[in-house]
Amino acid sequence: MSYIKKYIDDNKDRFLDELFGLIRIPSISSLSEHKPDMVKCAEYWRDQMLKAGADKAEVMPTDGHPVVYGEKIIDPKAPTVLVYAHYDVMPVDPIEEWKSQPFEPVIRDGKIFARGADDDKGQGFMHAKAFELMVKTKTLPCNVKFMIEGEEEMGSPNLGKWLDQHKEMLKADVILVSDTSLLGKDEPSITTGLRGLAYVEVEVTGPNRDLHSGLFGGAVANPANILAKMIASLHDENNHITIPGFYDDVLEVNPTERAEMNKAPFSLDEYKKALDIKEVWGEKGFTTLERVGIRPTLDVNGIWGGYIGEGAKTVLPSKASAKISMRLVPNQDHNKIAKLFQKHFEAIAPSYVKVKVTPLHGGQGYVAPTNTPAYQAASKAMEETFGKKPIPYRSGGSIPIISTFEEKLGLKSILMGFGLESDAIHSPNENYQLEMFFKGIETIPLFYKYFSEMAR
């Protein structure tokens, strides 16, 4: 047994105990009532870094929730790995669909069930434990810096400014992130592309108050019906998005690369079966893998208006609202897209309603090269622990901050995630496989080892 496996084996239970302590803090960044939990969670991370062997670690203020920064410098001339993770999590609605309490982690069928079990407490914490392992076994081959933020699930609105203020402190050779998924448990992969995101909230107002639907129905525009009509018009019959200019900056992917992409292990039948759907849906002319990998999309993330309680209420609502997000491909600018959306949505609003469009957050897409020492080191590390060379692939998800890192710090990121599609991140019953948690802790020291060798 290698020293890595032995250390993990000797400390397994404690690793889980410590992770569970982190998970138990309900650090939902988007709900203001959880502000005290955000500080508590940041302090927990700081204490863990110090315990693991950091030279220093501190909770640093931003204009929003704080960032935890820690470091261990073994030699100013050695390469430096900057680890990024986030300690904030998504809200837990719909709470009634959870089989156990979201902030009380339980292990069932070899999986940890809890909000944040994977995204990104489970995956982030692997780095704390891999770091401890390297320190305690005296095998840390390079310098390490940690920045653990608390606003990733809100689109990292304040991290850019913090990066600007601490460029010197954050100097490094590569950024290492575990916040993505593998193609499968036995299909190791490294994420080389991410979609950008433009997220807006829209509100359609009809009459100045809720009305009786009998006395006014049919004579006054119903904002819920109008909102439905406006949303419906955002896709044409081929499921293309109808916002003028929306596709202008999309770079077409050449046929060779598309063919390559479609070779990834993927079964449409299993996909449909896993989701219990009869048919997939999407933009005409593209495969399912292409639709999430290389095409921009538009989805309603939430819609509400009028009476939504038990039974029947005959109301013609005053307002109806929706949260709408667009996933963008590299070269589409999220600010430009949010503006195009706003302009279009206002333009299609009929005269009998008022509309308000509020951009909530956004981020640029990202593409990573595979010919760098960092990618090669990650590939080699994973090949060693999985017994199989990982596949580079473009994910449909977004981590807006990754492109900001490149812009502000001039650094590329290695997206070496250990999640699985079945982890239900952002959903009820989020979970993380114990096997993947420990596989991550095992793989990370190997990355450090090969990266230090190659980058010197």
Q: Which of 9, 14, 31, 137 binds a copy of itself (CB under 8 A)?
A: 31
Residues 292-331 that bind a copy of itself (CB under 8 A): 292, 295-297, 299-317, 320-323, 325, 327
Residue whose CB is less far from a copy of itself, 3 or 307: 307
Query: How many whole angstroms from its chain centre is CA 361?
Result: 13
Minimum CB separation of residue 260 from a copy of itself in Å reads 18
Q: How far apart are CA 116 and CA 108, in angstroms?
A: 16
Minimum CB separation of residue 320 from a copy of itself in Å reads 6
Q: How far apart are CA 202 and CA 234, in angstroms?
A: 13
Is residue 267 near a copy of itself by the rule CB under 8 A? Answer: no
Number of residues that bind a copy of itself (CB under 8 A): 100
Q: How far apart are CA 372 and CA 29, in angstroms?
A: 34
Asked about 17 being catalytic, the answer comes back as no
Residue whose CB is less far from a copy of itself, 143 or 181: 181
Asked about 58 being catalytic, the answer comes back as no
Q: Are 355 and 204 in contact (CB under 8 A)?
A: yes
Of the listed 18, 88, 118, 442, which one is catalytic? 88
Residues 104-143 that bind a copy of itself (CB under 8 A): none
- Position 235, amino acid: H
Q: How far apart are CA 392 and CA 395, in angstroms?
A: 10
Stretch of residues binding a copy of itself (CB under 8 A), selected from 150-158, 254-262, 368-376, 433-441:
150-158
Supply the DSSP string of 422-447, one letter for each residue.
GG-TTSTT-EEEHHHHHHHHHHHHHH
Q: How far apart are CA 433 and CA 161, in angstroms?
A: 35
Of the listed 119, 149, 152, 153, which one is catalytic? 152
Q: How far apart are CA 420 and CA 208, in angstroms?
A: 47
Is residue 225 near a copy of itself by the rule CB under 8 A? Answer: yes
Residue whose CB is less far from a copy of itself, 130 or 320: 320
Minimum CB separation of residue 252 from a copy of itself in Å reads 16
User: Which parts of 176-287 fold into alpha helices (H)?
Assistant: 213-216, 223-232, 255-261, 268-275
Supply the DSSP string of 351-405, one letter for each residue.
TTSEEEEEEEEEE--EE--SSSHHHHHHHHHHHHHHSSPPEEEE-S---THHHHH
Residues 158-197 that bind a copy of itself (CB under 8 A): 181, 195, 197
Residue whose CB is less far from a copy of itself, 318 or 376: 318
Is residue 427 near a copy of itself by the rule CB under 8 A? Answer: yes
Minimum CB separation of residue 204 from a copy of itself in Å reads 11
Residue whose CB is less far from a copy of itself, 225 or 376: 225
Residue whose CB is less far from a copy of itself, 105 or 365: 365
At 434, give phi and psi (nearest 5°). Answer: -55, -40
Residues 383-422 that bind a copy of itself (CB under 8 A): 395-398, 421
Nearest to 424 by CA among 189, 108, 34, 128: 108
Hey, which residues does 189 pair with through a beta bridge? 391
Minimum CB separation of residue 235 from a copy of itself in Å reads 7
Residues 230-249 that bind a copy of itself (CB under 8 A): 231-235
Minimum CB separation of residue 210 from a copy of itself in Å reads 4
Q: Which residues are catalytically annotated? A: 88, 152
